[in-house]
Amino acid sequence: MREKCGVFAAKTENAARKAYYALIALQHRGQESAGISVWKHRIRTVTGRGLVSEVFRNGELAKLKSSTAIAHVRYSTSGSLNETQPLETECCGMKIAVAHNGTLTNFRLLRERYESHGVKFRHTVDSELLGISFLWHFNETGDEFEAMREVFNEVKGAYSVAFLFDGKIIVARDPVGFRPLSYGFGDGHYFASEDSALRLFVEDVRDVKPGEVFLVSEDGVESKVLARESHHHCVFEYIYFARPDSTIDGVNVYSARVRMGRELAKESPADGDVVIAVPDSGRAAAMGFSQVSGIPYSEGLIKNRYIGRTFITPGQFYRELKVKLKLSPVREVVEGKSVVLVDDSIVRGTTMKRIVAMLRGAGAGEVHVRIASPPIRYPCYMGVDIPTRHELIAAFGSVENVRKTIGADSLAYLSVDGLKKAVGRRDLCLACLTGEYPEWAFRF
Ligand SMILES: O=P(O)(O)OC[C@H]1O[C@H](OP(=O)(O)OP(=O)(O)O)[C@H](O)[C@@H]1O
Ligand SMILES: NC(=O)CC[C@H](N)C(=O)O
Ligand code: SF4
Ligand SMILES: [Mg+2]
């Protein structure tokens, strides 16, 4: 399951160089492409496919000297893989660069409407629509905030977005606040998808509110909340996507994950000798499970983090070899033991099925799987690339069916109530778990 995309914007000395380091801190949110746009009397953009360190390795940063920058790391959810961001587009004789995290639910409809008014789209990705809508309404109103008010009225779905326009930075978070976005200030003004990227530069950090718009120009910074809807933050940022050291809307991700493991241990205890985690993202929940159950935590699986995205060799032999290269069991930890295996989520079930078999191969007596989130049963239309319902292992069958498929001795998931309690907030989007979608995203 993938989603993410990381957004960054800054008005400060050496903005592009800082953007480069911030993108490295946000690299977990997207590895397909990276890019930076700066203002130098006009928009200048450098983007490329691959990791941040691969895109900016030949002195590109030297060409981007400026105090005004926006930047992006991409995992695509819409449009071609060849697209990169920030993307440049134009409308009504004006140019804009766009860096966007999220997915728009009424993109097709609005694109057709704009095209019928003669607007030419240059890209395939939904993010372009945000830029077009802004320019169209800026042309009508002559005011950045009024233009953004119209964008909020018109464009539905998930968007944490940064624009570079006429030497200014405009940053906005959609009225539902699906995706995270933080603001930091000190020796300048900074924005990033996760506060952990801002803390590289400044300590004064706060969340951008849902429906809030920032305008940063030579005259300083101004912000306004232009739309209020009930807040529905994507719960998967807490479960899996975000960095554990990030704090989103006041809740630290690592602590929330530990609490998920604690709740899980209360709801579904397991008889085991050792608790182990599926690295990397299952670790915090496994700690929580161990704390409440009193069963000691050990590192029973080792993940090779140098396995590149380019390692795609066809054929069954190499596919299996790749799995073995990626994860391997520590025989000394699991041999002859009843193992409680904790992960944050099961999507297709492929990872879990292989790991259970791997642990048995390394001599584990019993394998009790505990998942620190509820079963994923429904698609996401707000930017998370959840496979179709048919590919989701828990979409149609019972938990018992999933247990059989992955070959575990027992299996339990955290309940929706347990999850809410662990995160400690009620204003969450839980649609892929419950099938109840936030209404605003579909009000077109
Ligand atoms: O059911 P599946 O479709 O196999 O996917 C589920 C797995 O994918 C994610 O981890 P990932 O492998 O992305 O690695 P990470 O935890 O290190 O981020 C997630 O944490 C599960 O472990
Ligand atoms: N993961 C994202 O947030 C993707 C942003 C945008 N929809 C794209 O595909 O590029
Ligand atoms: S449906 Fe699930 S993945 Fe999508 S925004 Fe809501 S909680 Fe996040
Ligand atoms: Mg994982």
> What digits encode the pLDDT tens for the residues 399-444?
999 999 999 999 999 999 999 999 998 899 999 999 999 999 988 8
Q: Say if residue 344 carries a ligand binding annotation.
A: yes
Q: Are strands 6-12 and 188-192 parallel, antiparallel or unpaired?
A: antiparallel
Between the CA of 345 and the centroid of ligand 4 the distance, in Å, is 7
Ligand 3 geometric centre to CA of 4 (Å): 11
Counting ligands in written order, which one lies closest to the CA of residue 382?
3
- 67 assigned to a ligand binding site: no
Considering 1, 5, 216, 284, which one is annotated as catalytic? 5
In this prediction, the residues of the chain whose per-residue pLDDT falls under 70 are 1-3, 308-316, 319, 387
Q: Please confirm, yes or no, whether 91 is among the known catalytic residues.
A: no
Strand partners, 158: none
Question: Which residues does a 6 A CB cutoff place in the pocket of ligand 2?
Answer: 3-5, 74-79, 85, 100-103, 125-127, 383
Domain range annotation of the chain = 6-229, 251-434
The CB of 392 under 6 Å from ligand 3? The reply is no
How far apart are the CA of 307 and the centre of ligand 2, in A? 24
- Round to whole Å and give the CA distance between 108 and 443: 14
92 assigned binding-site residue: no
What is the CA(213)–ligand 1 centre distance, in A?
34
Give the span between the Cα atoms of 24 and 373, in whole angstroms: 28
**pLDDT at residue 406, as a whole number:** 96
DSSP notation for 287-329: HHHHHHH-PPB---EEE-TT--TT----SHHHHHHHHHHHEEE
Tens digits of per-residue pLDDT, 340-384?
999 999 988 888 999 999 999 999 999 999 999 999 999 888 877
pLDDT of residue 444: 86
Strands across the sheet with 6-12, in order?
A: 43-49, 33-39, 68-74, 6-12, 188-192, 182-185, 204-207
Residue 163 falls in which region: left (phi positive, over 0), alpha (psi -120 to 50) or beta: beta
Mutation pick for ligand 3 pocket among 377, 384, 440 (CB with most ligand atoms within 8 Å)? 384
Pairing of strands 410-413, 366-371: parallel
pTM of this structure: 0.94
Q: Is 429 annotated as a binding residue?
A: yes
Q: State the pLDDT at residue 316.
A: 67
Question: Does residue 126 have its Cβ closer than 6 Å to ligand 1?
Answer: no
Tens of pLDDT, residue by residue over 201-235, are 999 999 999 999 999 999 999 999 999 888 999 99
Angle (deg, nearest 10), helices 253-267 and 283-293: 40
Query: Would you state the pLDDT for residue 353?
Result: 92
pLDDT at 363: 98
Q: What is the per-residue pLDDT for 310?
A: 44
Q: What beta strand segments (E) does 174-217 contain? A: 182-185, 188-192, 204-207, 212-217
Q: Does the beta carbon of 152 lie inside 6 Å of ligand 3?
A: no
Nearest C-alpha neighbor of 308 from the set 322, 329, 328: 322
The domain at 6-229 falls in which architecture?
4-Layer Sandwich (3.60)
Give residue 421 CA to ligand 3 midpoint distance, Å: 18
- Assigned token pair, 213: 């718009």
Q: Across the strands, what pairs with 277?
A: 342
DSSP state of 139: H
251-434: which CATH number, 3.40.50.2020, 3.40.50.620, 3.40.50.300, 3.40.605.10? 3.40.50.2020
Looking at residue 104, its pLDDT comes to 95
Cα dist. 169→142, 160, 191 in Å? 16, 13, 10
ipTM: 0.96
- Whether residue 380 is annotated as binding a ligand: the answer is yes
**Ligand lying nearest the CA atom of residue 1:** 1
- The DSSP-derived string for 63-120 is GG--SEEEEEEE--SSS-TT--SSEEEEETTEEEEEEEES-BTTHHHHHHHHHHTTPP
Whose alpha carbon is nearest atom 5 of ligand 3? 234
Residue-averaged pLDDT of the chain: 94
Per-residue pLDDT, 391: 82
